[in-house]
Structure formats: structure tokens, C-alpha cells
Chains A and B, each alone.
Chain A
Amino acid sequence: IAGITQAPTSQILAAGRRMTLRCTQDMRHNAMYWYRQDLGLGLRLIHYSNTAGTTGKGEVPDGYSVSRANTDDFPLTLASAVPSQTSVYFCASGVAGTSYEQYFGPGTRLTVT
């Protein structure tokens, strides 16, 4: 059982380019989340999904979009990357409505130049 996988591990991206960060979980969790982690700011929620087919905005959604076509996958897209989106991105999954526990992936380090 892999848990949560994220790809790529790291990426350097030119400003203005489009980028999709991938997240896959094999735990059949109904809820999935995307966070960004910046030094001194902890983790901030970008978007979330309580179940396949639904998504919601978090604290910092601008410049990002998500989709949830099935239970296992929750890709995060940057339509036109800007340097302020340089960060470490973490995907998480959990069982919304019951335990509330979240399990995090290993992260993607993104640098926008």
C-alpha cells in the first residue's frame, strides 16, 4: 500500500507556464486536500474536495484550480505560474464526516523563476 503519492518530487518552472501537480491515494478516502507550505507560515489550504465530483476553495485559492473526477486522484493546476507560487505543495487525504484525520503525501517542491 503506497498511501499518498505526489509527482513530481520537485520542479523548476518558468513564470507564465502551466503546471499540474499530481496526487493519488489508494486508501479510498473520500476527502482530499491541497496545501502550500512557506517558511514561517505553516500550511495553508488551497483547495479541498469532500467527495469525488465536488471541490471547495481554501484560504489561498487564487491562481490554482483542482478537479476530482474519481476518488483516487486530485490534481492541482497552476494555469500561469508566478514567482509567488514558489513553495512546497502537500496533498492530503482523509475520511470527511467521521474521523477527520488527514494523511499527507511527501510533497512537491516547486520553484517558479
Chain B
Amino acid sequence: GENVEQHPSTLSVQEGDSAVIKCTYSDSASNYFPWYKQELGKGPQLIIDIRSNVGEKKDQRIAVTLNKTAKHFSLHITETQPEDSAVYFCAARNFNKFYFGSGTKLNVKP
């Protein structure tokens, strides 16, 4: 099956700085790569996603890039705010199944 690795496991940034979280996947057949934000005690919430036929997608302060050749994709958050503090998960869809990274705990310091 697919294997998704996510780095770093924790990330601390100053408010207003940018944050970057990276993921790699192993199976070139994976075709959809979502990112989720999970706040304490809640279920994951989809924040942005990208399909394998697209290299970059942006939604306000959040962007995702995909490099199919290298099999890695990244989440970029600009102008971070304290409310961005949460755990972020990447995932890859592979033949109807989703495989998740182990998560990144983002702490945005005011």
C-alpha cells in the first residue's frame, strides 16, 4: 500500500511568519492530495487539496504545491495567525483508500 511521511512533527513560528509542512508519498498511482486541520477534540477539517494533474493551488493565505516526479507535496501558510495553531495532516488517495501522514503540530506565537 501507499506510505505517506510528513515533516516536521512540530513547528513553531512567530505570528506573521510563514509555515511550510512537507509530505512524501511512495506510490505514483496516488492521484489526490488533501490537507486537513485538526483542532483539539474535533474531527479533521479539509483546508485545501490538489489533484495529480495540477502543480499548485492557492486559497488566500494557504497554498499547496505538488511535485509528481519527486513524489512530494507541501502546505504553505503565509502571514500566520494564532488561530492557525492546530495539528495539520496530509493525505494521499490511492485506489479508493486514503493514507495519512503522522501530523504536524503548528504553534503560532503571538
Query: By the criterion CB–CB under 8 Å, are A90 and B102 in contact?
Result: no
Whether B110 is near chain A, meaning CB under 8 Å from some CB there, is no
Kindly report which residue of chain A lies nearest to residue B36, judged by CB atoms.
Answer: A104
**Complex Cα distance A50/B91, Å?**
18
Contacts of B45 in A (CB 8 A): 104
Query: By the criterion CB–CB under 8 Å, are B43 and A105 in contact?
Result: yes
Q: How large is the interface on B (under 10, 10 to 19, 20 to 34, 35 or more residues)?
A: 20 to 34
Which residues does A use to contact B, with CB under 8 Å?
4, 31, 33, 35, 40-45, 48, 50, 56, 58-59, 90, 92, 96, 100-107
**Complex Cα distance A102/B51, Å?**
14
Q: What is the predominant secondary structure among interface residues of chain A facing chain B?
A: strand
Kindly report which residue of chain A lies nearest to residue B103, judged by CB atoms.
Answer: A42
Interchain nearest-CB distance for A68 vs B (Å): 14
Query: By the criterion CB–CB under 8 Å, are B102 and A40 in contact?
Result: yes
**Complex Cα distance A40/B99, Å?**
14
Contacts of A102 in B (CB 8 A): 34, 46, 98
Most A-side CB within 10 Å, residue of B6, B96, B97, B102 = B96
Query: By the criterion CB–CB under 8 Å, are A42 and B89 in contact?
Result: yes
Contacts of A92 in B (CB 8 A): 43
Query: By the criterion CB–CB under 8 Å, are A100 and B97 in contact?
Result: no
Q: Select one of B49, B98, B103 contacting A33, CB under 8 A.
A: B98
Known: A90-B44, A102-B34, A104-B44. Is A43-B100 also a contact (CB below 8 A)?
yes
